[in-house]
Structure 1
Amino acid sequence: MLNTDETVPTSTRTEGATWMIRARFRMPLREDLWVNELSSAFSEATFRLLTGVPKDDHALELGEVQAADAETVVTAIRDHPDITAYEPVHQDETRAVGQYKVADQGLYEFLWQSSLPPEFPVVVENGTMEFDLTTSREQFEAFCEALNETKQHYQLLSVVHTEDEDPILTSRQRECMTVALSRGYFEVPRDCTLAEVAAGLNIDKSTASETIRRGTARVLRQFLVGAE
């Protein structure tokens, strides 16, 4: 059931254009899921399902944990009876990435019931997951109706519509901001400097600064103001 003050924005459709909906949802996880149990036990940790696929009687997933003591959380994941195999990909004090096999496919029941699977990553904190959808307005409305019919509680955190011919970011802005995001430039405190972002893009520091500044402004205008 919808639990939000958000409404789907309306606009006059430009002739020949296709409006796309970008929406972010939050909803509680099923109580018997392992990730619900562990994210509730480690309420300050963030779990990210980077990708996953159901296969036979289990699911294969690639997940990330961010926590003050990542090792303790990873140990709990390894020891959970629903996790039948775990292979580390990366681990340091506060972040761990691992590939694992899950005996319970309950998380994917939501995917099977919907013709619009959530986009990865799916973020889980304290028993609640957040995910994004990008789809047509008609499919978005059908998706929300299906959630309401199943009495699934959810929050609609944001809704933005845009024409597919007019993306929010230019390709160069998207490239710069993706590199900056992946390297931790937007973290507080920052994990890298502007000079390091520029070096990763093989451009000068002033160009990186201007591109990121313009890209950030466009994203903020779109999400805080909406399509004009």
Structure 2
Amino acid sequence: MSKSFPDATLRLLTGVPKGGRALELGEVRAENPERVTDAIQGYTDISAYDQLYVDDQRAIGQYEADEKSLYEFLWESSLPPEFPIIVEDGEMEFDLTATQDQFEAFGAALDDTGREYELLTLVHTDEQDALLTDRQREYLTVAHRRGYFEVPRECTLAELADTLGVDKSSASETIRRGAGRIIGRFTLSRD
């Protein structure tokens, strides 16, 4: 379906198997979303389509689909789907959160289907390799919530330190070190 509308973005917001079908909530983002949803409603695998929202750039619909292979594949791989699943011009993109063993099993199951796929990004985390210490995370979270990073600032360093129950120099140092770690992780020119 998405290949018929290569400029449209189809987003599967959520879905669950329902008997012999899948009950899904989908979104269309396109220049003329009603043209795309009309085609979806007329597609042989789609039944019971209800348009829930439409404007000049976006439409949301709930429908039942005969095609359940996505759910069957995810069920066999023992991984719950992460929504939204984005489909553009015949290609599907989704996120996956898994242990290393689950990830490898998922890759093997995908290989067994014979479908082409591409790993776009891989993020690996360990508790031992955490970006921030618990204290840095706490201080940065409080600073963000209180508006310390806003322009203009919504709270001063003294007010922030008072909220955290520490002196200004401790608050400042912990926030600077935590912010430095985050900036270092996400900048391209890292030493």
Q: Under TM normalisation by the shorter chain, which class is it?
A: 0.5 to 0.7
Change (3 A) 1:72 1:154: same
CA contact under 8 A between 2:77 and 2:105: conserved in structure 1?
no
Change (3 A) 1:171 1:224: farther
Using the size of structure 1 for normalisation, the TM-score is 0.57
* Structure 2 residue identity aligned to 1:163: D
Instruction: Determine which of 87, 93, 96 is the counterpart of 1:124.
Output: 87
2:185 maps to what in 1? 221
Report the more deviating stretch, 55-64 or 146-155: 146-155
| Residue 36 of structure 2 corresponds to residue 97 of structure 1 | no
1:75 maps to what in 2? 38
Instruction: Determine which of 35, 43, 53 is the counterpart of 2:16.
Output: 53
Instruction: Name stretches of at least 5 consecutive residues in structure 2 with no aligned partner.
Output: 154-177
Q: CA deviation at 1:112?
A: 2.8
1:184 maps to what in 2? none
Change (3 A) 1:129 1:164: farther
Percent of aligned positions that are identical: 47
CA contact under 8 A between 2:15 and 2:25: conserved in structure 1?
yes
| Residue 32 of structure 2 corresponds to residue 87 of structure 1 | no
CA contact under 8 A between 1:160 and 1:223: conserved in structure 2?
no
- Secondary structure of the residue aligned to 1:158 is coil
CA contact under 8 A between 2:32 and 2:56: conserved in structure 1?
yes
Distance (Å, rounded) in 2 between the aligned partners of 1:219 and 1:47: 34
From the two aligned structures, give the one with the greater helix fraction.
2
Distance (Å, rounded) in 2 between the aligned partners of 1:121 and 1:219: 28
Larger radius of gyration: 2
CA contact under 8 A between 2:46 and 2:65: conserved in structure 1?
yes
- Secondary structure of the residue aligned to 1:43 is coil
- Secondary structure of the residue aligned to 1:96 is strand
Report the more deviating stretch, 158-167 or 96-105: 158-167
CA contact under 8 A between 1:158 and 1:223: conserved in structure 2?
no
CA contact under 8 A between 1:60 and 1:100: conserved in structure 2?
yes
* Structure 2 residue identity aligned to 1:90: Y
1:183 maps to what in 2? none
Higher relative contact order (CA 8 A, sep 6+): 1
CA contact under 8 A between 1:87 and 1:100: conserved in structure 2?
yes
- Secondary structure of the residue aligned to 2:122 is strand
2:169 maps to what in 1? none
Provide Cα deviations, 1:168-215, integer angstroms capped at 9, x if missing partner: 8x69999xxxxxxxxxxxxxxxxxxxxxxxxxx9x76962899xxx99
Change (3 A) 1:76 1:154: same
Distance (Å, rounded) in 2 between the aligned partners of 1:69 and 1:220: 43
| Residue 23 of structure 2 corresponds to residue 40 of structure 1 | no
Q: How does 1:103-114 map to 2 (within 5 A)?
A: 103-114=66-77
Distance (Å, rounded) in 1 between the aligned partners of 2:90 and 2:109: 22
Using the size of structure 2 for normalisation, the TM-score is 0.67
1:12 maps to what in 2? none
Q: CA deviation at 1:167?
A: 7.0
CA contact under 8 A between 1:123 and 1:129: conserved in structure 2?
yes
Q: CA deviation at 1:116?
A: 1.9
- The number of residues matched between the two structures is 156
CA contact under 8 A between 1:160 and 1:222: conserved in structure 2?
no
* Structure 1 residue identity aligned to 2:92: M
CA contact under 8 A between 1:43 and 1:126: conserved in structure 2?
yes
Report the more deviating stretch, 135-144 or 40-49: 135-144
